[in-house]
């Protein structure tokens, strides 16, 4: 996996085919297959079956076999996820460091919402568990979360999917809506993320006096601010590099630079991160590689029959209903990357507005993962902190309905067919 990351990050210099890191990732998946959960193996197996079946039928009908796409698809995306994981080394506290005292009240609610969102937008789920562990350790039995804490963590973190280039959602959207503009997506997504955070704040403000939050400091925001500016600047200075490549290069270099500056045991930390965090990415490998295979197969199949499929235009109503359908699938346990890969294979051959399509993908991820008790984040929180499926759904379902309505209005504005944004 490390070698695949190095080959992908150095691709702008070496220009080696992405087949090679793709083969390395498939090898890593084969080595870790027996250790995956049964449900993951079944889901990945089904996706690969659909992909290979679609490719097989397409070849019989005279289409070319997209074997290179099937092998290398989502390789850049997985490289980005691996690269971003190195940032957790910077965020993690040392074992001998004293934990900060938890704060309470409205200020604590504001700080926790802002903190989990901004840090989560950069270092991803690491911050959720850093905060959740502190909350749980301060609870009566040491291993449970309050409903308000679960709502804050899940909603504020998942809102990062609307805009953050460090979030898997943005990488997936840019991959499956080729040609979408990152800055346009951020312009549309940041107001939606802020809206989701404000909805959560005003909903929980009457209970704020009993809310125990996580303390934040202004200097703690230096890393998220630096990385966000660095990505935007690099994207402007090196337009030939994709956002995924930029992040794959910047994230590990930033983590190494910070560790060297703080005079931490660099080699020890890198070895530990590789042998623990990267080694536990089998589920991500299985899901994204299998989804890439399915997307390659469906893309070939839908291109073959594109003139016979009754695919509607992305009118405002169709866009809103498409988002609703993807959110319902999320509630049923379908990972957003699966529905995104499927919709992409169906829609991309018809050449829809790619920015709009990417916005739908981001919204389905940002809302769906927060509301679905079956999302990876909620499954992790449920299993670790004893939150029931019913309670997880009750905590966030109404939030999902409100955000779907607000996002539909936003998509209406950005839709070229609406007449508002031409």
CA 3 – CA 26 distance, rounded (Å): 12
**What's residue 153's pLDDT?**
92
Query: Do 294 and 341 form a contact (C-beta atoms < 8 A)?
Result: yes
Instruction: Give me the average pLDDT of each 10-residue run along the chain (422 residues).
Output: 90 86 94 86 87 89 84 82 79 54 78 86 72 72 77 93 88 90 94 96 89 69 74 80 81 88 85 85 83 80 69 87 92 81 83 94 94 77 75 93 96 84 58
CA-nearest of 134, 133, 116 to 125 is 116
What is the pLDDT, as a whole number, of residue 143?
64
Give me the pLDDT at residue 98, please.
53
Residue 212: helix, strand or coil by DSSP? strand
- Cross-strand bridge partners of residue 212: 104
Residue 83 is predicted with a pLDDT of 85
> What pLDDT does residue 156 have?
94
For residues 226 and 219, the answer to whether their CB atoms sit within 8 Å is no
Torsion on CA atoms 33, 35, 40, 42, rounded to nearest 10:
60
pLDDT at 409: 95
Q: What is the pLDDT of residue 397?
A: 95
Beta bridge partners of residue 213, listed in sequence order: 103
**Domain residue extents for the chain:** 2-418
The three-state secondary structure class of 104 is strand
In this predicted structure, what is the pLDDT of residue 78? 84
pLDDT for residue 307? 62
Taking the whole predicted model, whether its pTM rises above 0.85 is answered as no
């Amino acid at each position: 996996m490390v070698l695949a990351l190095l080959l992908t990050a150095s691709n702008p210099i070496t220009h080696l085919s992405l087949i090679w890191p793709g083969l390395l990732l498939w090898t890593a998946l084969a080595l870790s297959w027996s250790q995956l959960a049964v449900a993951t193996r079944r889901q990945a197996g089904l996706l690969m079956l659909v992909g290979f079946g679609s490719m097989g039928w397409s070849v019989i009908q005279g289409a070319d076999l997209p074997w290179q796409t099937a092998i290398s698809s989502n390789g850049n995306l997985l490289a980005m996820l691996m690269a971003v994981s190195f940032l957790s080394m910077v965020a993690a506290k040392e074992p001998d460091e004293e934990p900060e005292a938890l704060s309470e009240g409205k200020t604590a609610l504001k700080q926790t919402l802002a903190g989990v969102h901004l840090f989560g937008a950069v270092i991803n789920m690491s911050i959720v568990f850093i905060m959740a562990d502190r909350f749980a350790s301060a609870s009566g039995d040491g291993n449970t979360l309050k409903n308000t804490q679960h709502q804050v963590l899940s909603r504020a973190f998942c809102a990062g999917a609307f805009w953050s280039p460090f979030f898997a959602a943005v990488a997936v959207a840019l991959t499956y809506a080729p040609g979408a503009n990152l800055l346009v997506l951020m312009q549309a997504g940041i107001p939606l993320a802020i809206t989701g955070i404000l909805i959560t704040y005003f909903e929980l403000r009457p209970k704020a006096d009993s809310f125990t939050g996580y303390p934040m400091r202004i200097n703690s925001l230096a890393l998220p601010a630096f990385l966000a500016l660095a990505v935007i600047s690099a994207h402007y200075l090196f337009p030939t590099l994709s956002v995924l490549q930029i992040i794959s290069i910047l994230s590990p270099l930033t983590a190494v630079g910070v560790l060297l500056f703080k005079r931490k045991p660099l080699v020890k930390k890198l070895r530990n991160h590789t042998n623990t965090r990267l080694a536990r990415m089998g589920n991500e490998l299985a899901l994204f590689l299998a989804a890439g295979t399915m997307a390659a197969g469906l893309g070939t199949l839908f291109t073959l029959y594109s003139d016979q499929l009754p695919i509607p235009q992305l009118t405002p109503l169709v866009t809103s209903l498409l988002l609703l359908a993807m959110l319902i699938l999320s509630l049923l346990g379908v990972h957003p990357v699966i529905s995104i890969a499927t919709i992409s294979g169906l829609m991309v051959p018809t050449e829809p507005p790619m920015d709009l399509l990417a916005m739908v993908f981001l919204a389905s991820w940002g809302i769906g993962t927060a509301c679905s008790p079956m999302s990876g984040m909620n499954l992790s929180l449920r299993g670790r902190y004893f939150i029931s499926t019913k309670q997880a759904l009750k905590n966030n379902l109404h939030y999902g309905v409100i955000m779907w309505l607000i996002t539909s209005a936003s998509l209406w504005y950005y839709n070229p067919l609406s007449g508002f944004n031409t």
